[in-house]
Chains A and B, each alone.
Chain A
């Protein structure tokens, strides 16, 4: 029998903060501008230039810490992390070491280890990739990005599968987006994720040797990359070979994992306190300002919708993940006492018709959607008719009741009319009627179809079924 292995995964997420200016200088942040138009002596690392901390970056860092339930450091200090690379003009990155802004916390089922602030590196374009200088092995450095404020969020190794890693990262993304501290766009690099991965025999408490999988730039690649690395490690262990601690790169085109740095160049960053920056002491005033800007976050909102409003899990998650849907949902609920799940279902229907659009900006007034749900719960219209009304509301706006009357979409309830139509349908589908009498209720399809065609979908399916049974003496 072969050993079952359990993956142990922790994530390191870099988030570019949506400030106007860089972490330590007044150069504007930009994405997509021509190269090297947002630089100054500070972010070019020119001799004698002095950094100054962006107050808004600290504010955003505190908001993230509050949203993750972290302990916020009363005193936090910047350090120099020393290494040489062409995207780092000073020869060191200003980061945080033993006194980060936030420690601990939790989001969903994953604990947070720490959150610290640092500066982003510049962008390196390898000429081979850009094709601009033929046959050269030079690289081009664009310092526009250099010095962009980053929050690095490090989790505890609480993740046990590639799918869980992807789902959790999506939760983190919607949380940060609703906080408004970042664009959190993986393609543009404002959300970047590395994964530390090890495996161990299931049930073991010991940790295996971990590898670090770098910079996977989509949710799909994160899932694929982690999966591939887990499989690679399993194959090694089953073959009796050790996992080597190293930094790896996942190539989504080939699905292959390659080593990024040789291990002789072991990280030795020689951190020391940044002498050009004084410590950050978090004041009550700073904390209050951050707290005031933290909205209700997706996890809390989802929980409230489930427990207090009785929504099912899918609806609660859908609404909570998109704050514009949640706000619209709540404004519809506020109109009258409609049943929350019914309202949620129709907000979902509406959202599907608006693509990614905000329902508050659509022609469908919250009052109109509330009225539509009301007509439906009063059985004044069928679900099919309600969908037609919604289509009209999306296209033109207006009042559902007026649309129902103008279009003759009112439900044909019990009464003579429907009974007559059912009798006709049974007569026209004698075969089906026989089958139903013989106990095959599935044969009712053509009869209901007949009635729906005759009523243009205005008959209530449940009522038709009841009438069919009644008329067939069942």
Chain B
């Protein structure tokens, strides 16, 4: 089952900050979810392809034809900070 360390690892990868109480609660909830999913293991799935889509559709391709892009001011409208041309973000190297 899922322990504290695993919860903290996944939280770190997802950039989530959890309180101690939340870590406890998540460990319990995630364990319950996995236990539920594990019930599938009780079925005989010999010869059944893993399902990633519920509809049997393939090759939904798009022709290589340009479509209008957003005006830059619209693209930048929701940016926390800009220099008028680009999105300003805290430097990942800092």
- Count residues on chain B whose CB falls below 8 Å from chain A CBs: 35
Indicate whether B83 reaches chain A with its CB closer than 8 angstroms. yes
> Smallest CB-CB separation from A273: which chain B residue?
B52
- Count residues on chain A whose CB falls below 8 Å from chain B CBs: 53
> Smallest CB-CB separation from B64: which chain A residue?
A56
A interface residues, Cβ below 8 angstroms from B:
19-21, 25-28, 34-41, 44, 52-58, 75, 77, 82, 84-86, 124-128, 132-133, 137-143, 268, 270, 273, 275, 277-281, 283
How far, in Å, is B81 (CB) from chain A's closest CB? 7
CB of B75 within 8 A of CB of A20, answer no
CB of A26 within 8 A of CB of B13, answer no
Kindly list chain B residues whose C-beta atoms are within 8 Å of the C-beta of A40.
67, 69-70
> A58 and B61 in contact (CB under 8 A), knowing A34-B85, A141-B86?
yes
Indicate whether B91 reaches chain A with its CB closer than 8 angstroms. yes
Consensus secondary structure, chain B interface: loop
Give B27-59 as 1s and 0s: 1 = Cβ < 8 Å from A's Cβ atoms.
000000000000000000000000011010111
CB of B15 within 8 A of CB of A84, answer yes
> A38 and B91 in contact (CB under 8 A), knowing A55-B62, A140-B85, A277-B60?
no
How far, in Å, is A288 (CB) from chain B's closest CB? 15
Inter-chain CA distance A21–B76, complex, in Å, is 21
CB of A38 within 8 A of CB of B69, answer yes
> A53 and B72 in contact (CB under 8 A), knowing A26-B65, A84-B15?
no
Count A-B contacts at CB 8 Å. 129
CB of A281 within 8 A of CB of B66, answer no
Inter-chain CA distance A273–B49, complex, in Å, is 14
CB of A142 within 8 A of CB of B86, answer yes
> Smallest CB-CB separation from A41: which chain B residue?
B70
CB of A82 within 8 A of CB of B13, answer yes
CB of B59 within 8 A of CB of A140, answer no
Kindly list chain A residues whose C-beta atoms are within 8 Å of the C-beta of B53.
273, 275, 278-279
B interface residues, Cβ below 8 angstroms from A:
9, 13, 15, 52-53, 55, 57-70, 72, 75-76, 81, 83, 85-94
CB of B88 within 8 A of CB of A138, answer yes
Kindly list chain A residues whose C-beta atoms are within 8 Å of the C-beta of B64.
19-21, 54-57
CB of B91 within 8 A of CB of A278, answer no
Kindly list chain A residues whose C-beta atoms are within 8 Å of the C-beta of B81.
138
CB of B91 within 8 A of CB of A138, answer yes
> Smallest CB-CB separation from A75: which chain B residue?
B58
Kindly list chain B residues whose C-beta atoms are within 8 Å of the C-beta of A35.
72, 85-86
Q: Beyond the given A38-B69, A137-B91, could you list 15 further A-B residue pairs with CB under 8 A, ordered by the A residue number? A: A27-B66, A36-B72, A36-B86, A37-B72, A55-B63, A85-B92, A128-B91, A139-B93, A140-B87, A141-B86, A143-B75, A277-B60, A278-B53, A278-B58, A280-B61
CB of B67 within 8 A of CB of A25, answer yes
Kindly list chain B residues whose C-beta atoms are within 8 Å of the C-beta of A283.
59
B86's contact among A52, A75, A125, A273, by CB below 8 Å, is which?
A: A125
How far, in Å, is B76 (CB) from chain A's closest CB? 7
Inter-chain CA distance A53–B63, complex, in Å, is 9
> Smallest CB-CB separation from B61: which chain A residue?
A55
Kindly list chain B residues whose C-beta atoms are within 8 Å of the C-beta of A57.
64
Inter-chain CA distance A34–B86, complex, in Å, is 10
Kindly list chain A residues whose C-beta atoms are within 8 Å of the C-beta of B66.
20-21, 26-28
Kindly list chain B residues whose C-beta atoms are within 8 Å of the C-beta of A84.
15
Inter-chain CA distance A187–B68, complex, in Å, is 28
> A53 and B61 in contact (CB under 8 A), knowing A138-B90, A140-B83?
yes
